[in-house]
């Protein structure tokens, strides 16, 4: 088996080397373009970074020969690469380019495929409503063109979302429909297996254990346990859960243990995490206390290492029930100990009234103090947990706001790219950059420990670099100097300041510099002086004329409006270029 693997690996490397040689020797751009596409496919699963690099070269040559079909395909493949690397905003942009093209071309097959991909991106970012919207469009289109593979895959995804939402009736409808569609052709077998696994899971969740057992038995006979280990372990898990819920604990135990071991050994962390409470439930019913304690400690350790995962309700209930029983047992032990202490006190009281009276009083106060300490510790633990939960919720809120703003930014970018009126396109692009500056604030909030304020120096550096990148400007073309105090400002202060700085940088990049400018520079200064914040943005460009100063552009109106919100004195000076100063009186430092 090892020799065969090495042989296949060697063959694949030889194929890649041959393709690379073609890109170096061929003088035909079309051949080079298709060769880079083959390199993309050859490295897709083995080397994601290399695959993405070859996809970019594929796009480069497609654009060079103006092959619109392959340009769009390259964008779609770059979307797939972005999903694999976790860059969902970039993936969304690429998929929307492909969707727009295939919709205009009325290419229903490829359009339905892109719709499924858009649904998957929104599912990854926890946007279930948009995810369902795209999946349902893909399903409807697949059925209309009798491409039951597309409609079946979309129905699997829809059923899976409804299953996670706890809407089992809807989940059942779409999952059963996916099985019907995928049974219509022998070439759909791999997708049919996935659809049947999802359907069996929904039977379990909707308490139809008999149907679940029948389907799991069928799947165990046809699944290849070595080639598809993940699905095989999932089937074992599902069958074990179905038996456990029916009360067949001894029959359920080997299936659950086997699934647990396979998920753990192969680093399927989420699934392995979800198996632990099921095993805890089984071992509790079998009165195996040692196993319960070991698994509970393992669960806590694993839980601490998993971030941004929604937990299954059944897991939470099982663990909560176990913790309650454990606390009840501890209280019973404390009660018995108290009763024992009382008996001992009575014995010593009769033996030696005078001496043991003092000992009894001391013991009583120690006991009271110990009990009070335990109660306070428990209350403190509960308070810390509540604070942690609130912090997690707040981080998630900022995360979702950031995602929503980034989506709006992406849509504005796409709109500007498709507009023929350059002035209108420029205005839309300016709006996109403003939205991006606000999204950056929420990103900073959920990535840091301080959830109510933003570290100004870090934010302004990132903001300025982002604006430069949006206008394709590099530091070797225009120098950027930033001098900002280290401080944390609340969201009501940093948001208008961020938008103002954004507007001033954009304005300088557009209007300040000419080809004759030597060492063009933009400087940003923000310092706290007594009870005021001093913000200065300076460029060494051509300066302004009297007509420039009076120009009533939207950007200038926006800056003045935000200045009033900050109770800031606003001034513009011709000083070796243009110097804009804001003396801010309303702000809050965290």
Residue 560 falls inside a structural domain: yes
Return the pLDDT at 446. Answer: 54
- 453 - beta bridge partners? 490
Contact 469, 440 (CB under 8 A): no
Nearest to 113 by CA among 132, 87, 139: 139
Q: What is the pLDDT along the chain (590 residues), one digit of tens a residue?
A: 333 333 344 445 678 888 999 999 999 999 999 999 999 988 887 888 888 999 999 999 999 999 999 999 999 999 998 888 888 889 999 999 999 999 999 999 899 999 999 999 998 888 888 899 999 999 999 999 999 989 999 999 999 899 888 899 999 999 999 999 999 888 888 888 888 888 988 998 888 888 988 888 888 888 777 777 888 888 888 888 888 888 889 998 999 888 889 888 888 888 888 888 888 888 888 888 888 888 888 877 777 666 444 434 334 444 444 444 445 545 554 555 556 556 655 655 555 555 556 665 666 656 666 666 666 666 666 666 555 555 555 555 656 665 666 667 666 666 666 677 777 777 777 777 777 777 777 676 656 555 667 888 888 988 888 888 878 787 678 899 999 998 988 888 988 898 999 889 988 888 888 877 888 999 999 999 989 999 999 999 888 765 444 456 778 888 888 899 899 999 999 888 899 999 999 998 87
Domain that holds residue 381: 352-451
* Short-list 289, 233, 219, 300, CA closest to 261: 233
DSSP 172: H
CA distance 426 to 381: 54
Distances (CA, A) of 396 to 307, 382, 443: 11, 21, 10
Is there a single domain that holds both residue 574 and residue 487? yes
Residues 556 and 520 in one domain: yes
Residue 11 lies in a domain: no
In a domain, 100, yes or no: no
- Reference 46, options 72, 89, 15; nearest CA is 15
pLDDT at 71: 93
Q: Tell whether 429 and 472 lie within a shared domain.
A: no
Q: Are 152 and 182 in contact (CB under 8 A)?
A: yes
**Cα gap 55→36, rounded to integer Å:** 7
476 occurs within a structural domain: yes
Number of domains in the chain: 2
**Which residue among 451, 479, 507 closes a domain?**
451
Do the Cβ atoms of 160 and 198 come closer than 8 Å? yes
Task: Mark whether 590 and 469 lie in a shared domain.
Answer: yes
48-64 and 29-43 helices cross at what angle (nearest 10)?
A: 160
Residues 446, 457 share a domain: no
- Alpha-carbon dihedral sign for residues 147, 150, 153, 154: negative
Strand ranges in 488-548 using DSSP code E only, listed in sequence order:
488-490, 521-529, 532-539
Cα 70 from Cα 58, distance rounded (Å): 8
Nearest CA to 145 among 181, 180, 176, 196? 181
Report the SS3 class of residue 484.
strand
Tell me how far apart the alpha carbons of residues 477 and 462 are, in angstroms, rounded to a whole number.
18
What is the pLDDT, as a whole number, of residue 539? 93
Q: Last residue of a domain, which of 422, 451, 480?
A: 451
Question: How far from 225 is each of 219, 518, 583, CA to CA, in Å?
Answer: 11, 69, 70
Cα 190 from Cα 207, distance rounded (Å): 26
Residues 415 and 457 grouped into a single domain? no
Residue carrying the six token digits 């243009």: 578
CA distance 150 to 152: 5
**Domain annotation covers residue 557:** yes
- Domain final residue, candidates 451, 473, 504: 451
Q: Among all chains, which residue has been given the structure tokens 């981080």?
A: 395
471 found inside a domain:
yes
pLDDT of residue 229: 84
Give SS3 for 570: strand
Separation CA 485–CA 526 (nearest Å): 6
What pTM was computed for the model?
Answer: 0.48
117 part of a folded domain: no
Q: Could you tell me if residue 24 is inside a domain?
A: no
Q: Which of 281, 202, 209, 269 is nearest to 233 (CA)?
A: 269
Angle at Cα 43 formed by Cα 226 and Cα 18, nearest 5°?
120
Kindly state whether residues 542 and 557 are assigned to the same domain.
yes
Instruction: Spell out the long-range contacts of 135-139 with Cβ–Cβ below 8 A and sequence spacing 24 or more.
Output: 135/161, 137/112, 138/112, 138/113
Long-range (24+ apart) CB contacts under 8 A made by 87-94 are 88/121, 88/124, 88/125, 88/403, 89/406, 89/407, 89/410, 91/117, 91/121, 92/118, 92/121, 92/407, 92/410, 93/410, 93/413, 93/414
Are 494 and 581 found together in one domain? Answer: yes
574 and 489 in a single domain? The answer is yes
Residues 402 and 462 in one domain: no
Clarify whether residues 564 and 469 are in a common domain. Answer: yes
pLDDT the model gives residue 132: 92
Give Cα 250 distance to the centre of its chain: 39
Report residue 137 as tokens. 């469009």
Domain of 486, CATH number, reads 3.30.565.10
**What three-state secondary structure class fits 306?**
coil
**Residue located via tokens 């753990």:** 264
588 shares its domain with 570: yes
Contact residues for 373 (Cβ-Cβ < 8 A; gap 6+): none
Q: CA 411 to CA 425: how far, in whole Å?
A: 13
Quick count: other Cβ atoms within 10 Å of Cβ 218?
13
Q: Are 176 and 147 spatial neighbours (Cβ–Cβ below 8 Å)?
A: no
């Amino acid at each position: 088996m090892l020799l065969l693997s090495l042989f296949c690996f060697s063959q694949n490397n030889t194929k890649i080397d041959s393709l690379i040689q073609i890109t170096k020797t061929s003088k035909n751009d079309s051949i080079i373009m298709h060769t880079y596409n083959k390199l993309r496919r050859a490295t897709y699963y083995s080397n994601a970074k290399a695959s993405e690099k070859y996809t970019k070269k594929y796009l480069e040559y497609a654009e060079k020969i103006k092959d619109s079909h392959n340009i769009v395909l390259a964008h779609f493949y770059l979307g797939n690469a972005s999903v694999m690397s976790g860059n969902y905003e970039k993936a969304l942009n690429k998929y929307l380019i492909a969707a727009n093209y295939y919709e205009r071309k009325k290419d229903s097959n490829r359009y339905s495929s892109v719709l499924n991909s858009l649904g998957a991106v929104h599912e990854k970012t926890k946007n279930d409503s948009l995810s369902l919207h795209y999946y349902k469009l893909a399903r409807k289109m697949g059925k209309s063109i009798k491409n039951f593979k597309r409609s079946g895959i979309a129905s699997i995804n829809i059923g899976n979302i409804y299953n996670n939402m706890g809407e089992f009736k809807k989940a059942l409808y779409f999952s059963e429909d996916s099985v019907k569609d995928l049974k219509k052709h022998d070439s759909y077998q791999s997708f049919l297996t996935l659809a049947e696994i999802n359907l069996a899971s929904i039977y379990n969740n909707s308490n139809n254990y008999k149907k679940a057992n029948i389907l799991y038995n069928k799947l165990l006979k046809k699944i290849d346990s070595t080639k598809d280990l993940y699905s095989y372990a999932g089937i074992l898990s599902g069958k074990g859960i179905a038996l456990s819920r029916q009360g067949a604990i001894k029959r359920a135990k080997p299936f659950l243990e086997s699934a647990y071991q396979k998920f753990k050994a192969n680093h399927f962390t989420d699934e392995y995490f979800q198996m632990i409470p099921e095993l805890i439930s089984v071992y509790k019913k079998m009165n195996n206390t040692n196993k319960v304690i070991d698994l509970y400690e393992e669960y806590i350790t694993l839980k601490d290492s998993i971030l941004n995962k929604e937990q299954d309700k059944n897991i939470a209930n099982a663990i909560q029930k176990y913790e309650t029983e454990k606390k009840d047992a501890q209280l019973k032990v404390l009660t018995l100990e108290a009763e024992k202490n009382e008996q001992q006190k009575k014995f010593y009281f009769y033996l030696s009234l005078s001496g043991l009276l003092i000992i009894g009083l001391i013991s009583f106060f120690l006991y009271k103090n110990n009990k009070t300490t335990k109660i306070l510790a428990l209350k403190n633990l509960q308070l810390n947990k509540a604070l942690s939960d609130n912090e997690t919720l707040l981080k998630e809120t900022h995360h979702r706001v950031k995602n929503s703003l980034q989506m709006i930014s992406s849509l504005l970018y796409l709109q500007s790219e498709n507009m023929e009126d350059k002035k209108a396109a420029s205005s839309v692009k300016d709006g996109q950059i403003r939205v991006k500056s606000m999204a950056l604030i929420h990103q900073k909030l959920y990535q840091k420990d301080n959830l109510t304020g933003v570290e100004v120096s870090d934010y302004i550096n990132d903001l300025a670099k982002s604006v430069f990148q949006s206008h394709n400007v590099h530091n070797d073309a225009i120098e950027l100097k930033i001098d900002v105090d280290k401080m944390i400002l609340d969201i009501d202060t940093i948001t208008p300041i961020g938008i103002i700085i954004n507007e001033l940088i954009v304005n300088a990049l557009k209007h300040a510099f000419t080809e004759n400018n030597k060492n063009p520079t933009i400087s940003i200064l923000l310092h706290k002086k007594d009870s005021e914040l001093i913000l200065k943005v300076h460029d060494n460009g051509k300066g302004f004329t009297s007509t420039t100063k009076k120009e009533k552009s939207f950007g200038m109106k926006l800056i003045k409006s935000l200045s009033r919100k900050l109770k800031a004195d606003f001034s513009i000076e011709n000083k070796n270029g243009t110097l804009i100063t804001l003396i801010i009186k309303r702000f809050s430092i965290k």
